[in-house]
Amino acid sequence: MNFNCPRNEHLNRRSLLKSSLATASGASLMNWGGLFGSDSHAAEASKKNKHCILIWLNGGCSQFETFDMKIGRPTGGLFRDISTNTGESRVCELMPNIAQRMDKLAVIRSMKTSQIDHSGGIYLMHTGYQATAAVRFPEIGAIVAKYCGDAESDLPNFVKISSNGNAGAGIIGPRYSPFSLDKDGRLPTFSESRLAPPIEARRHGLRDFMEERYAKVHKAEPAKMYRESYDRARRLQNVRQAFDVDSQWEKYREKYGNSKLGRRLMTARCLVESGVSFVEVGQSGYDTHADNFEGHKSLVPTMDIGWAALLDDLGERGLLQDTLVVWMGEIGRTPRINNRSGRDHYVRSWSTALAGGGVKGGLIYGESDEDGIDVKDKPVTEGDFFGTVYTALGIDPLEENYAGVRPIPLAPFGHSVVEAILA
Amino acid sequence: MPQLNEFSQHDRRFRMMSFQFVAGLVCAVAIAASTMVAEADEFRGSIDQRIKAGWKANNVKSAGPATDAEFLRRVYLDLHGVIPTREGAAAFLDDASPEKRSKLIDALLEHPRFAIHQADVWDLIYFTRNPPGYGTDKRKGFQKWLREQFENDVPYNEWVRSILRAEGNTVKDGSPMFYVMYKSQPEDAAEAITQKFLGIQLQCARCHDHPFEEWKQTDFYGFAGFLSRLRVVDVGTVDKEKAYAIGEMNTGDVLFTGPVTEQKRGQKGEPVKPKFLGSDPLVEPKLPEGVKDPRNFPNGKQPPTPHFSRKNALADWVTNADNPYFARAAANRIWGQLMGKGIVHPVDNLSPANPPSHPELLDELSNGLAAHNFDLKWLIREIVNSRVYQLSASGENTEAMPLWFERARYRPLSAEELFESWLLAGGYHDARKASGKEPEDRFNVRGFTWDYMRRFFGRPNDGMGNFQGGMQEHLYLNNGQIHQLISKDKGSLYDHLATSESLMEDRVERLFLQVLSRRPEAEETEKFVAHLSPEDDQRNQIHEAIWTLMSCSEFRFNH
């Protein structure tokens, strides 16, 4: 299978239309043009052809065991630091591969966010907003799908692999809702049509006849969404091969570290290469209230090798300049080491990292104090963070969507974009 | 304080309503049943008047009346949670009587399916798809009990009181299951009770005094104070199922440590005495000297009743007809269930910051419900008999739930509604009957995995009524087990289409009646006759035709 083919060569709805016209025994087709919103801003961002891969560290990875070490301090922990390829920064010894790719990373050591528990933090760091009963905020994946995604692609534009977050597309609508693969990155149950294409087309023709009649009289939004989703499910059949990465895995297994996470990360690269605009890959187990050091020792090296391989792989294929790789969890961990050798939840000062399209490499932004208790310099809130990520992707963070009549900007009002990070 | 005004206004209105109702009763008894009918008409008529006034004030054009077929499917799904049988559909459509709609409504309300479906609806309101608490996902006892409340027309305030008093055990008596969700979590129980029974969102006041809402943190902890002495007790196995009871200690208070922002490490909280929401503190009798609580209630036996039950005091206060929130929350919920969205929407947030679209109508519905002894069936009957409920779903307006109720709403079918309607549509039951087999459990069909239905269709909306079905449900519809429900056995719809001697046109009519509860239009007949007639691949073509109608938009929504 050729994964290097440009995405306009993949089957898209035009070619599907052509094939349907040929095989649907004269059935009249729905008015496709009316199905897709023609939001000019969304169209403009799409042209930029940006992608985003989110590496989600579920439970909250420790900043002290990754990018913000406090060597020799009581909060410092057990691990040593090592030098990096930028010559200036030092990172945890658990990340020898990332240490050699620090020239590609913009690390934020001054995250200061507002939600300290998992559910609140997961919502916050997927949407940029605290959960409220009144507004269903969309996740970053849905936003990237809307503003960077190709509405005509047969592929879903927001894919999740073994990750968290349940806000989904919220107010921007199920058209951008996540498509979750199973935990190995394979297509979920019932993805495969077992009908021969002509039979499927015949069935579709009859169904389409009914849908078109219905749509003429019933204009309500849910029925329209339902038709769109049917269309997307059907078009997925054209691109099933994009999810079949077995042969690729044989080739890249060692490079990505021969782990489940490695396979998910490689799948993310394949999907981006096929044209998917947002892929979220999860790694779980960071909630180390007990045995923080053992926990990180077992998790970080796997992540380190997979993440480094992803950056290399994207770079070698010329994709890194258009793909923003975001590395974060919902929270950081406490400076204080508790009596179970654990670190608890902490959001007053913690770290995230960005790499690739739209951001500078070899940059450490912000600083925590001597013991990592508070941000000493240049705090970055969740609003600032999302504002920066969207800007890096070429999306205006002040772009608004509506909850009823209430305008909701992509990143919360009052945020400031961290210009220093942007390339 | 605005809510105090509302209190007294409500009180006055309530007393007037009660008076009118008592007067009405005397009349009804004294005069004749026909007066009752006239009064009932008046109520559903006033619903229409209020909604019409809203259209006029807002310059909104309403949809026309629903056709018989539209009304038929809608009212079956709303009252029974399932489409009509083809015989039922044909009989209704062919009935020329002008009162056929109200007659159908009366018949549906008295049918056993009514209790089954309403119990499904309320069970999910209380427990959601993934209830908190150990053992709460298996609650046949509760579900059976709830069904019985509807079967026996137990007034709403009475069955809610039973839920909150939680007497007996979860298997035999059922109702104690509600508290099992909130084992050792009085604060969570306080949030759930205020939200689900009173339409009040108290959760913000858990951590801070809310800037825009009237509730203070002390209100929240005062409410939780009624629940802090509850314990979930494992009372062993009853009828082969694990049973729990709710015990109540004689002592113990909720501790309040002040606003979270002012909290210090190691700070000890102050005990808070129970206080009725927006009202007085609870007056408790003094505990007799020398009463001491056990550390825990022993497993395996029903816990003793306390000297004074705070829980029961709360149950009585919540469900009291004078409680200004209780009837209002219920009336608004029932309206929302049938009309797509509440007069206050979302239905569980009756805050002053979230005003009703039709304040007078909400007052009338809630006063009416209280005056009719919390008879939900009365309220449902009035609403579905109104012209507003019987509007068409067609028109240019694209909203799923039009703001002024100017057109019928679109509601996705629940997993239960879809499944049972598919069984009926495909003729599954007919086929079983034809083969002489006993009917199976509701959701236990051989070769079919109910869990997938929960996964793909379990949350068709986002809790506020917004449809959120995506691509995944179509993968199921296109490629999943729905195909197994299209029975090919003798007696099934498939079998009829394949083997009947009757004209293909008549067979297509039966197909439409059985799946979409209406007759086909001429173009549809033509299209489907053409699709079903060729003999080279007829087996597949019949299957495709049934699947098409079972998976199309017209089937997916209640509209």
The ipTM, to two decimals, is 0.88
% of chain A surpassing 90 pLDDT: 79
B110-122 pLDDT, tens digit per residue, is 999 999 999 999 9
Q: What is the dihedral of CA B462, B326, B333, B343, to 10 degrees?
A: -100
Pair (B476, B488) in one structural domain: yes
Is any Cβ of chain B less than 8 angstroms from the Cβ of A218? Answer: yes
User: Which of B86, B93, B89 minimizes the C-alpha distance to B514?
Assistant: B86
Pairing, β A278-284 against β A51-58: parallel
* Same structural domain, B354 and B425: no
Domain for residue B21, yes or no?
yes
Look at residue B208 in the predicted model and tell me its pLDDT. 67
From CA B540, how far away is CA B483, in angstroms rounded?
11
The reply to whether B162 and B264 lie within a common domain is yes
Q: Which residues of A touch B479 (CB under 8 A)?
A: 190-194
Verify that B328 and B306 share a domain, yes or no. no
Closest CB to A219 among B349, B395, B554: B395
Please check whether residues B499 and B475 belong to one and the same domain.
yes
* Pick from A179, A202, A213: CB nearest B471: A179
Q: What is the pLDDT of residues A237-268, one digit of tens each?
A: 999 999 999 999 999 999 999 999 999 999 99
pTM, rounded to two decimals: 0.84
> B295, exposed or middle or buried, with CB in 10 Å at 0-12, 13-18, 19+?
exposed
Q: Is residue B208 domain-shared with residue B253, that is, in the same domain?
A: yes
pLDDT at position B4: 37
- Tokens (6 digits) for B386: 């109104």
Q: What is the CA radius of gyration of chain B?
A: 26
Q: What percent of chain B has pLDDT over 70?
A: 90
Whether chain A has a CB inside 8 Å of the CB on B396: the answer is yes
Taking the mean position of all CA atoms in its chain, how far away is CA A356?
A: 14
| Closest-CA residue of chain A to B548 | A207
- Asked if residue B417 is part of any domain, the answer here is yes
- Single out the residue in B300, B319, B338 at which a domain terminates: B319
Do B242 and B140 share a domain, yes or no? yes
Tokens of A323: 């793909």
Determine contact: B523 vs chain A, CB below 8 A. Answer: yes
SS3 B415: helix
B394 within domain boundaries: no
| A184-193, B81-90, B325-334: range with lowest mean pLDDT | A184-193
Cα distance from N-terminal residue to C-terminal residue, chain B:
41
Place of tokens 């939680």: B166
Q: Do B27 and B75 share a structural domain?
A: yes
| pLDDT of A37 higher than 70 | no
Q: Which of A332, A350, A348 is nearest to A292 (CA)?
A: A332
Q: Give a three-class secondary structure readout of B99-144.
A: CHHHHHHHHHHHCHHHHHHHHHHHHHHHHCCCCCCCCCCCCHHHHH
Q: Which residue of A has its CA nearest to B524?
A: A210
Domain around B291: 130-319
CB A399 within 8 A of CB A415: no
Cα–Cα nearest to B362, from B383, B392, B387: B383
Residues A220, B399: C-beta atoms closer than 8 Å:
yes
| Whole-number CA gyration radius for chain A | 22
Is residue B213 very low, low, confident or very high in pLDDT (cuts 50, 70, 90)?
low
Tell me if B381 is assigned to some domain.
yes
Q: Is the pLDDT of residue A213 over 80?
A: yes
CATH fold, domain A7-421, is Alkaline Phosphatase, subunit A (3.40.720)
pLDDT above 70 for A2: no
Structure tokens at A408: 């909701």
| Main-chain dihedrals φ then ψ at residue B100, nearest 5 degrees | -65, -30
A199: contact with B, CB 8 A cutoff: yes
**In total, how many domains does chain B have?**
3
Residue from the list B395, B478, B549 with its beta carbon closest to the beta carbon of A233:
B478
Residues B474, B436 share a domain: yes
Q: Which single residue is written with the structure tokens 């809510």?
A: B3
Q: Is A212 on the interface with B (CB under 8 A)?
A: no
Tell me how many residue pairs between chain A and chain B have CB atoms under 8 A apart. 129
Residue whose pair of structure tokens reads 């209790």 in the numeric block:
B115
- Given B284, B299, B319, the domain boundary residue is B319
Are B90 and B35 contained in the same domain? yes
Is B398 part of a structural domain of the chain? no
Residues B46, B188, single domain; the answer is no
Residue type, A144: V
d(CA B95, CA B108): 16
> Which residue in chain A has the smallest CA separation from B412?
A222
Same domain? For B201 and B314 the reply is yes
- Which tens digits make up the pLDDT trace of A335-368? 999 999 999 999 999 999 999 999 999 999 999 9
B257 pLDDT band, cuts 50/70/90, is confident
Residue B86: name the closest of B533, B384, B421 by CA.
B421
Using DSSP, state whether A180 is helix, strand or coil. strand
